Chain A
Amino acid sequence: MSAHFESRDLVIPGDVLYEGRIRTGDNTYRMQGKVCATRIGLVDYGRGIVSVIALEASYNSLVGDLVVGKVVDIELGQWMVEIDSPSLAILSVPDAIDAPFSPDVVMPDILDVGDMVIAKIVDLDRRRTPILSTLGRGLGKVEEGFIVRITPSKIPRLIGKKGSMVNMILKETGCDIVIGQNGRILIHGRTREQEEIVVDVINKINKEAHTSGLTNRIQEYIKGLKEEQN
């Protein structure tokens, strides 16, 4: 019945986090009464639960997530979209143009192989393949902007508490940012310089996601970059 680490310590797969009766949270497993970590991350001892906030993790698709994906294949009545999850996602014609699939629909004219799309996961089918939809505000084909990739487990850090981090970046740089839960981020600004600042900042957040007081430091960092450009 004891904790082996302090909260927010860096742990590595196999590290024994707790011995005794406790619930196992994210990224942990139980082995002979011991709770161990399965991913590298920061340990979090809650009330009656132990979990690890992963620093490296692949994307696990959930219904309702907004994702940025790439069309990799066109099949009869559906597009296959790569969203960095273990399996390709399906976007079918009725979910893209709000009309049934008919012979007059020319699929490559709507979305071609290589196009980037912003979509929402509306369902997981019985094999846990994500089903996408591009019907809705702000969804659909990406026309222009920058796309950067970060580790999907660091997305909450990029958004911040109630969006504090992302709102600060929006205010400081004046760029539009679409954050896909799968770790792909679309940045669209008025000038290329603005976009480059955001790309730089997001890479910095990706590297330093585990440190505290990040929002303020990032704000300073953006100001520094802006001065450099002027």
Chain B
Amino acid sequence: MSKKKSRSRKKKKWERVDGREPNELRPIKIESGVLPNADGSSYIEMGRNKIIVGVFGPGEMHPKHLAKPHMAVLRCRYHMAPFSTDPRRSPAPSRRDNEISMVMRYALEPAIFLERYPRSCIDVYAEVLQADGGTRCASINAATVALVDAGIPMRDLVVSCAAGKYDGKVILDLGDYEDKEGEADVPVAYMPKLSKVTLLQMDGILSSEELEKCIHLSIEGCNQIYEMQREALKKKYGIEKEEK
């Protein structure tokens, strides 16, 4: 009897590994202005991801021959701390770190008015303290908040979120397990006010309908995260407003 019951319930509802709805994000916490020594900074917790981002600049470009005469150079560094994964990983930048640094740069570049600061450079340092799948998206989200906090002129915020396929179903914001065991993963970075996509990657195999579904789903997720980014930026000033 009880066996039957459980089986029928199983059929009724398919559940994700952590019990989320297919279109539900992990809990997100964003804070801006956390590092006094950086020009701009932010900290993000996206599920069990914990990432801290510092922004420096615009400042003098070193080495000088890499400076561009008509625009600023954006340099991103994505790095996973040795203690961010189990087992420990080597602190040396890996091929994956370098790739994600580049991906971050490509995602953020279209949003920044780089042409306003010729011959200078803007540095973005993202340090992953704890990793749980989707760190590149979380890093981009945090980097945008840090760039705004640094007072760098931007066209729009960049929001990033992944969708993918796990167990034959299209789901939003994959966690570490779903990322590794699932069929496909589609990280998207998006500028909500300009409705432009700045990053689109796909890892795995998807049909074209599924890909389209994934993109729409992740843009939906991006719009939710956008509201949280706005709140995080306003919180730095809003709380002080209440004091008066």
CB distance from A217 to the nearest CB of B (A): 7
Give per-residue flags for A79-121: 1 if the beta carbon is below 8 A from chain B beta carbons, else 0.
0000000111000000000000000000000000000000000
Stretch of B130-138, B150-158, B214-222 at the chain-chain interface: B150-158
CB distance from B104 to the nearest CB of A (A): 18
- Given the known A-B contacts A56-B150, A86-B120, A127-B119, are A211 and B157 also in contact in the complex, defined by CB atoms under 8 Å? no
Stretch of B8-16, B17-25, B205-213, B232-240 at the chain-chain interface: B232-240
In the bound complex, what is the Cα–Cα distance between A114 and B152 (angstroms)? 28
- Looking at B57, B111, B150, B153, the one whose CB has the most chain A CB atoms below 10 A away is B153
Give per-residue flags for B42-60: 1 if the beta carbon is below 8 A from chain A beta carbons, else 0.
0000000000000001111
Size band of the A side of the interface? 20 to 34
Q: A13-B111, A14-B192 are in contact. List 15 more A-B contacts (CB 8 A).
A: A12-B148, A12-B230, A12-B233, A13-B148, A13-B156, A14-B154, A14-B155, A14-B157, A38-B113, A56-B149, A56-B151, A58-B57, A87-B60, A207-B240, A217-B244
In the bound complex, what is the Cα–Cα distance between A87 and B191 (angstroms)? 30
Residues of A within 8 A of B (CB): 10, 12-16, 27, 29, 31, 36, 38-40, 54-58, 86-88, 127-128, 151, 153, 207-208, 210-213, 217
B193 CB within 8 Å of chain A: yes
Residue in contact with A31 in the complex, picked from B59, B72, B194, B237, CB distance below 8 Å: B194
User: What are the residues of chain A within 8 A of B119 when measuring CB–CB?
Assistant: 86-87, 127
- Looking at B60, B111, B120, B237, the one whose CB has the most chain A CB atoms below 10 A away is B237
- Given the known A-B contacts A86-B59, A211-B244, are A58 and B152 also in contact in the complex, defined by CB atoms under 8 Å? yes
CB distance from A153 to the nearest CB of B (A): 7
Q: Contact at B193–A14, with CB atoms within 8 Å? A: yes
In the bound complex, what is the Cα–Cα distance between A217 and B157 (angstroms)? 34
Q: Contact at A14–B244, with CB atoms within 8 Å? A: no
Q: Contact at B193–A10, with CB atoms within 8 Å? A: no
Of all chain B residues, which has the CB nearest A149? B36
B39 CB within 8 Å of chain A: yes
CB distance from B54 to the nearest CB of A (A): 14
User: What are the residues of chain B within 8 A of A15 when measuring CB–CB?
Assistant: 193
Of all chain A residues, which has the CB nearest B113? A38
Of all chain B residues, which has the CB nearest A217? B244
B117 CB within 8 Å of chain A: yes
User: What are the residues of chain B within 8 A of A212 when measuring CB–CB?
Assistant: 244
Of all chain A residues, which has the CB nearest B153? A38
Q: Contact at A36–B155, with CB atoms within 8 Å? A: yes
Give per-residue flags for B135-165: 1 if the beta carbon is below 8 A from chain A beta carbons, else 0.
0000000000000111111111100000000
User: What are the residues of chain A within 8 A of B149 when measuring CB–CB?
Assistant: 40, 56
Q: Contact at B120–A87, with CB atoms within 8 Å? A: yes
Q: Contact at A13–B155, with CB atoms within 8 Å? A: yes
B241 CB within 8 Å of chain A: yes
In the bound complex, what is the Cα–Cα distance between A57 and B151 (angstroms)? 4
Of all chain B residues, which has the CB nearest A208? B240
Of all chain A residues, which has the CB nearest B36? A149
In the bound complex, what is the Cα–Cα distance between A212 and B60 (angstroms)? 36
Q: Contact at B60–A14, with CB atoms within 8 Å? A: no
In the bound complex, what is the Cα–Cα distance between A56 and B151 (angstroms)? 4
B40 CB within 8 Å of chain A: yes
User: What are the residues of chain B within 8 A of A54 when measuring CB–CB?
Assistant: 151
Give per-residue flags for B107-132: 1 if the beta carbon is below 8 A from chain A beta carbons, else 0.
00001010001111000000000000
Q: What are 12 inter-chain pairs, A to B, with CB distance below 8 A?
A: A29-B155, A39-B153, A40-B151, A57-B151, A58-B57, A86-B57, A86-B59, A86-B119, A87-B119, A208-B240, A210-B237, A210-B240
In the bound complex, what is the Cα–Cα distance between A31 and B72 (angstroms)? 21
Of all chain B residues, which has the CB nearest A210? B237
User: What are the residues of chain A within 8 A of B244 when measuring CB–CB?
Assistant: 208, 211-213, 217
Q: Contact at A27–B60, with CB atoms within 8 Å? A: no
CB distance from A214 to the nearest CB of B (A): 9
